[in-house]
Structure 1
Amino acid sequence: MTMLDRKEFRDKLYQILDENTSVAHPLVMELVKPKANWDLLHATTLQGYQLTKNFLTYIEHLFFYCPLPKHKKALLVNMYEEETGRLSGTKNHVRLMEDFIRAIRIDDETRDAAVAYPQTQELIDYRMELCKDPSRYHLGAAAVMVASEGQNLEDTAGQNRHTLLGKVYGVTEQDTLFFSVHAKEDVGHVREGVALVVDLCKDSAMQQEALEVVEHTCKLFQGMYEGVAERHLTGAV
């Protein structure tokens, strides 16, 4: 691959993200059908919680190893919001997710006993290994700041998923703050992530690696949904 100029590379990152997000997975579409599927919602949410519990660790490592001061500040802001929720006027983002889990009738004991399915664990471990390796920093940034943050950007049937979930399962806007906060914040986080990856990739090989990581991370998200679907949604995969 010939090295792309900055605009071409930025556009390609967004293109791959747009083409490989998991919003159209049959599991997601099933969740927002008018008839509630509580078992599927519980299973999907508890797997999502496994990701949420690890996300701050990714950002902490990306902040610590960041070689570019202007991007390090943005990562610090991201980390501060994840830990405190003060910029959004809410709370720690894991606590926000736990609020939603309680709202959909999962008690704390059940929540804490849940474990990652193999597909979910693969996604967790893949990103963790990249973020903890300074020699592959550009790939950790691509996996987390582009592919992962980009999972919350899309609408389903013209509406945010959290809005549709509220209608189907009777949860309130307060209950779904975890999703509404991320739907707003992650637009900026992806923009910052793309800018970071563009600045990091100094040759065509680094660019190609980053593009491949974005695509692969998106496919791992799809794999996580498939792991839930094969256990809780017959015929979805």
Structure 2
Amino acid sequence: MLSKDEFKKQCYATIEKHTSVAHPLVSELVKPEANWELLQAMTLQGYQLTKHFLTYIEHLFFYCPLPKHKKALMVNMYEEETGRLSGTKNHVRLMQDFVRAIRVDDATRDAVKPYPQTQELIDYRMDLVKNPETYHLGAAAVAIASEGQNLEDTAGQHRHSLLGDVYGLTDKDTLFFSVHAKEDVGHVREGIALVNDLCTDAKMQQDALEVVEHTCKLFQGVYDGVAERHLTGVR
């Protein structure tokens, strides 16, 4: 069985190996010439993911078998629902603000359906968090791999800064991303601590690490799905 420190190191190494910002689609999005269609398509698929995130955290809180970790999950839930800790607003509403800022109206936003790759990621995490028997895997998928998607930068700049520069977006427009870039550092740390305490043998640890890797790959798949439909030749 891995030590808690080694397990933590392997979790971070897995996230860093599969950062979303390394996907070719992101490089296309931040080229000097703005690609509004691509940005809108990627954002609308990201919105499908955002709509479900509070539900994942709610289930992790409800089924959490370790009282010392329930408080962190409750705080996460409270921020997702209200935005009061960050001084902003409900996180789905923050994402809706960004969608409007990139020239997509509410009716168009609400008519969009998840691509198959997006739906696969939604369902994979939902199935894990709704089953108490796979709680440690749901925590690995959501509290480590998913929260870890914002632990990224390119040449010292986070994704929201790069998008703002190219598309003329203000700091207010990109609050959804800047808030998560800050908050998710702590969320990942708390998620790793939770899963570390949940895993009581080597198999549980290995299964959790495999779920972290698979979840990261499913995020890559979401980007692939957008690239296949909106950017021929980029995979």
TM-score (norm 2): 0.99
Q: Is 2:78 the partner of 1:69?
A: no
Point out 4+ residue stretches in structure 1 off by more than 2 angstroms.
none
SS of 2:190 mapped into structure 1? helix
| 1:154 aligned partner, one-letter code | E
Aligned length: 235
- The 5-angstrom pairing of residues 38-187 of structure 1 reads 38-187=36-185
Q: Structure 1 stretch 155-164 or stretch 37-46: which is displaced more?
A: 155-164
Please state how far the C-alpha of 1:21 moved relative to its aligned partner.
2.0
Please state how far the C-alpha of 1:34 moved relative to its aligned partner.
1.0
SS of 2:203 mapped into structure 1? helix
Please state how far the C-alpha of 1:18 moved relative to its aligned partner.
1.1
Counterpart-to-counterpart distance in 1, 2:18 and 2:147: 13
SS of 2:200 mapped into structure 1? coil
Query: Paired residue for 1:207?
Result: 205
Counterpart-to-counterpart distance in 2, 1:29 and 1:200: 38
SS of 1:23 mapped into structure 2? helix
- Backbone CA RMSD of aligned residues: 0.6
Counterpart-to-counterpart distance in 2, 1:150 and 1:198: 16
TM-score (norm 1): 0.98
Counterpart-to-counterpart distance in 1, 2:47 and 2:164: 18
| Per-residue CA distance 1:191-215 (angstroms, 9 max, x = gap) | 0000001000000000000000000
- The 5-angstrom pairing of residues 20-31 of structure 1 reads 20-31=18-29
Please state how far the C-alpha of 1:228 moved relative to its aligned partner.
0.2
Query: Paired residue for 1:19?
Result: 17
The partner residue of 2:6 within 5, 8, 30 is: 8
For structure 2, list consecutive stretches of 5 or more residues without a partner in the other structure: none
Counterpart-to-counterpart distance in 1, 2:97 and 2:156: 26
Counterpart-to-counterpart distance in 1, 2:68 and 2:30: 40
Query: Paired residue for 1:224?
Result: 222
Q: Is 2:208 the partner of 1:234?
A: no
